[in-house]
Amino acid sequence: MQLIFVHIFCCDTNFVFCCKIDSEPMDINKDSTPYEFPSSDLMVLEGHTSEVFSCAWSPEGSLLASASRDCTARIWTIGDGPCNSTIRRRAPNVLVLKSLESQTNETDDLVTTLNWNSEGTLLATGSHEGKVRMWNRYGELVKNLDNHSCPIFGLKWNKMGDYLLSGSVDRTAVVWNVISGKPKQQFEFPSVVIDVDWQNNDSFAVSLTGGMIYICKVGENRPVKRFSGHENDVNAVNWDPSGSLLASCSDDATVKIWSMKQDVCLHDFREHSEITYTIKWSPTGAGTSNPNQPLLLASGSFDATVKIWNVKQGRLLQSLNRHRGPVFSVAFSPNGKYLASGSADKCMHIWSVKE
């Protein structure tokens, strides 16, 4: 079974939308008429009372975690198999994770982001007030990780799962020792940290407002590399599956590709005409479970397009021009065959990567 998921960011709906595809998707929309999912194929996860900022499947795909402005995170159990009428009538099993100082008192600390560890045993959440929380898959609080004083937007486990990295508006990133729950190391930067991504088990990239990208290593007091080239806020950084190429996207509308071997970017893609908000590498190519498919990069932009790049060849492969509003989110299916995109136009599209 393939799982395809798009998080809908900054929209005014109060539910998580997820899409499970069991076999080849039908050609539902070769023409340009909008397609409405038949309600028989749709499962709506109701419960959040305000915007859902972020969602993530657990690595094995049976749990969906969601983070919301309503100050809760939730873990939904989504059964296997097609979404049939029996499944839809059953209320989905949901655990409500309250981002509280005490477990009983309501707060107004909205949950901005979340991330599963690679084993799917622990979920980390970050909040607007700078609280980092570690939960188990049964929704129980495991640790309070308190060091930040401002909103957390970047939060990632390393592959090994011994470090958790959080990046904050307070201009710091903290590497947490997961066992002790204490900061292993705090890194300070000249401006706000927007996104973080691990290159390997102890090196990571940090993207900042203003345009800088830093590469840091646990144990080193100074950044091991500085990438300058973006002219405005870097909205996302993402290492390719082998950890050799870093992609970044920015308010300056460009997508850039960096390598540790040089200081200037390898590629400077300028085909987007507005803010590029999100980028994702395909789970394909060397070192992935789909080694025979080429490695691709997808980007989503406020120019309403989704673009697919062949980075090795340094060129734009496809511009996908069906959205009518800013594209906030893109996600490849685990087999690399499909790309889903979500937009402020209230549409989600699922693209066949090959076509």
Closest CB to ligand NAG belongs to which residue? 81
Is residue 283 a contact residue for ligand NAG (CB under 6 A)? no
Q: Between 118 and 321, whose beta carbon lies closer to ligand NAG?
A: 118
Q: Between 150 and 317, whose beta carbon lies closer to ligand NAG?
A: 150
Among 37, 50, 159, 273, binds ligand NAG (CB under 6 A): 159
CA distances from 326 to 55, 172, 349 (A): 19, 29, 13
Q: Would the CA dihedral through 207, 181, 105, 78 be positive or negative?
A: positive
Is residue 144 a contact residue for ligand NAG (CB under 6 A)? no
Q: Between 190 and 314, whose beta carbon lies closer to ligand NAG?
A: 190
The interface mask with ligand NAG, positions 44-83, x = CB under 6 A, is -------------------------------------x--
Q: Between 247 and 348, whose beta carbon lies closer to ligand NAG?
A: 247
Least gap, CB of 294 to ligand NAG (angstroms):
22
Least gap, CB of 166 to ligand NAG (angstroms):
11
From CA 57, how far away is CA 163, in angstroms rounded? 20
Least gap, CB of 250 to ligand NAG (angstroms):
27
Total residues interacting with ligand NAG, rule: CB under 6 A? 15
Q: Between 89 and 354, whose beta carbon lies closer to ligand NAG?
A: 89
Q: Between 20 and 256, whose beta carbon lies closer to ligand NAG?
A: 20
Torsion of Cα atoms, 247 then 250 then 256 then 258, to 10°: -50
Q: Which of 311, 310, 306, 300 is nearest to 322 (CA)?
A: 306
Q: Between 81 and 325, whose beta carbon lies closer to ligand NAG?
A: 81
Q: Which of 86, 84, 89, 69 is nearest to 16 (CA)?
A: 69
Q: Between 33 and 86, whose beta carbon lies closer to ligand NAG?
A: 86
Among 87, 260, 317, 347, binds ligand NAG (CB under 6 A): 87
Q: Between 85 and 292, whose beta carbon lies closer to ligand NAG?
A: 85
Which amino acid, one-letter code, is at 103? Q
Least gap, CB of 174 to ligand NAG (angstroms):
6
The interface mask with ligand NAG, positions 172-201, x = CB under 6 A, is -----------x--x-------------xx
Among 84, 93, 136, 228, binds ligand NAG (CB under 6 A): 84
Least gap, CB of 9 to ligand NAG (angstroms):
29
Backbone angles phi, psi at 141, to 5 degrees: -70, 125
Least gap, CB of 15 to ligand NAG (angstroms):
21
Least gap, CB of 81 to ligand NAG (angstroms):
3
The interface mask with ligand NAG, positions 95-114, x = CB under 6 A, is ------xx--x---------
Least gap, CB of 118 to ligand NAG (angstroms):
8
Give the residues lining the site for ligand NAG (CB under 6 A): 81, 84-87, 101-102, 105, 147, 159-160, 183, 186, 200-201
